[in-house]
Structure 1
């Protein structure tokens, strides 16, 4: 189920969402200049990605933030930025520009440490915005559960269908948990637990916002 767009237009221009997307694109554009030199690219990922095992001898403070803006390839950044574009504008609408920015960063940090809980001794750098974007999706799940996600579904032949957001995002979350459990056994390069952790954080923040919205 690949999302094409949602059915709720944003009321205000999602300025922060656009800025975050462009920052990721600019960093990836720089990465492209390193792709022909494997040593430089390896050094870049280990310098700005978060390597869990380093916590035990030199905590990587800067990388807590920088890892969110580094991506491992074309499919990685395109998928992440597409999901952020679809879900981020409405969440920014609900929170306001500055609070959305803080939420995005803290969501990425929460997702990072959720990943570290399951991979504390990993020597591989965690990179990508997917943890923070998962937090955005979690908040969307709570705040815009009534929306519909127009999606491209592949079943023998591809077709387009509107899926209730509450169902689409719930299934997405279940898949992250299931894949995370499977990855613990087989091993994979995808940080499924970061996705799950980010989503949980987004749900908690979304519930808090929703409670305040309807508090009399």
Structure 2
């Protein structure tokens, strides 16, 4: 299920979240330009995280722990990640505060990287992407706003005739589906099957849940509860 928006307000502008999106986009543009002039892929040397290299030379590979979070494997990769960050990140920042949110995001990304390294210490496939950090953001959103309505693309074309192209589902359901799908793939696929680092997603998600619990952060704003599957469903009122 692909989420497209939520309806939660924030008390203050989520400038850290927008900064993270801007950094990722700027890094991707720089990456594409660099790859265009470096056909052998050397532009990514030292920035993409390679588990085997980190295990062999941890100090020399330290820049990749941070650099890999701002690189992406293609336009669809960064578009999907930034969509998730745009939908869920602002409300998590609102609950944590700007400084703690920045630290939370980076910490989740590092935890995701270490989960991937621990699960595949001899892998030589470079890992890039903000997915691990964003998985932590999803976990935090699910804890803070489990009943928040999330608009998703209806995954069953036949149901478009009855419920339309979009569905409204509770956040806990959408986020649980994300976690279960990634956990299943992490347990039943290769460490980076199909170019996806499922272990990093699972590690980032669990870290986000643990970090949020440790911070003892509570819901920041009131929000409308999920009312049903139909996107524009209204309460039925009986005239007296």
Give me the TM-score of the superposition, normalised by structure 1: 0.92
Larger radius of gyration: 2
Residue 43 of structure 1 corresponds to 42
1:186 to 1:5, Cα distance in 2 relative to 1, 3 A? closer
Q: Say which of 189, 198, 203 aligns to 1:197.
A: 203
Residue 92 of structure 1 corresponds to 93
Matched residue SS, 1:151: strand
Distance 1:160 1:189 in 2: 29
Give the C-alpha shift of residue 171 in structure 1: 1.2
**Correspondence list, 1:61-80, <5 A:** 61-80=62-81
Residues 1:58 and 2:57 aligned together = yes
Matched residue SS, 2:18: helix
Gaps of 5+ in 2: 220-240
Residues 1:175 and 2:174 aligned together = no
Residues 1:15 and 2:21 aligned together = no
Matched residue SS, 2:150: strand
1:186 to 1:126, Cα distance in 2 relative to 1, 3 A? closer
1:127 to 1:204, Cα distance in 2 relative to 1, 3 A? same
Give me the TM-score of the superposition, normalised by structure 2: 0.83
CA contact (8 A) 1:114 1:197 kept: yes
Distance 2:79 2:121 in 1: 28
Distance 1:73 1:212 in 2: 35
Structure 1, 100-109 or 176-185: larger mean CA deviation: 176-185
Distance 1:155 1:38 in 2: 42
Distance 1:38 1:179 in 2: 33
Distance 1:186 1:21 in 2: 24
1:46 to 1:153, Cα distance in 2 relative to 1, 3 A? farther
Matched residue SS, 2:34: coil
1:213 to 1:181, Cα distance in 2 relative to 1, 3 A? closer
Aligned length: 212
Residue 167 of structure 2 corresponds to 161
CA contact (8 A) 1:45 1:127 kept: no
Distance 1:125 1:141 in 2: 30
Runs of 4+ that moved beyond 6 A: none
1:138 to 1:185, Cα distance in 2 relative to 1, 3 A? closer
Distance 2:191 2:5 in 1: 34
Give the C-alpha shift of residue 39 in structure 1: 3.0
Aligned-residue CA RMSD (Å)? 1.8
Give the C-alpha shift of residue 122 in structure 1: 0.5
